[in-house]
Structure 1
Amino acid sequence: MLRYSLMRLGIFAGCFLALWGLVYVGALPRGLGDSNLLWVLLLSLVISAPLSFVLLRKQRDSMSVEIVEKVDRAKGRLQDNRTREDAV
């Protein structure tokens, strides 16, 4: 799960740096007044979300399988504990 989160953060950071460069060059508007940083952050978030969804599909699916396995193991242990209590 940490690997997926770091990869997603990397995509966000890449988008942020690319957009910051475009704003610095003048290809994108600078925002209103002092809102330049907020403008770039929000735009980076909007662009990186669909990119992460598409580019990290395999990692997200494998992370989902791991989580389901952990939940199933926890449910099995809980059921074992319940049957032991019933036997006593």
Structure 2
Amino acid sequence: MPGSCASSGSPRWLPPWASSWGLFWQPLGIAAAVGFAITMAGAIGFHAKAGDYADPKTRGGAMAPFVLVLLAVAAAVTLAAAM
């Protein structure tokens, strides 16, 4: 996929496999997990502002950020405990 790096928002000079560097250098993995959790917390805020949690039809899709926040926090704690 020729434009995959550009479409994902990562710089062109960064190789596509660079996203796995956090697996080998734990401080980078912890920072990535915390940053992702903050991003998902923002998504939860926007979903709440839009009223997605009050409407039963849209509540299912709006619950994904909650699950992803829990996953990111678990990853950050696991990486921190392994240091």
TM-score (norm 1): 0.36
TM-score (norm 2): 0.38
Q: Which has the larger radius of gyration?
A: 1
More helix by share: 1
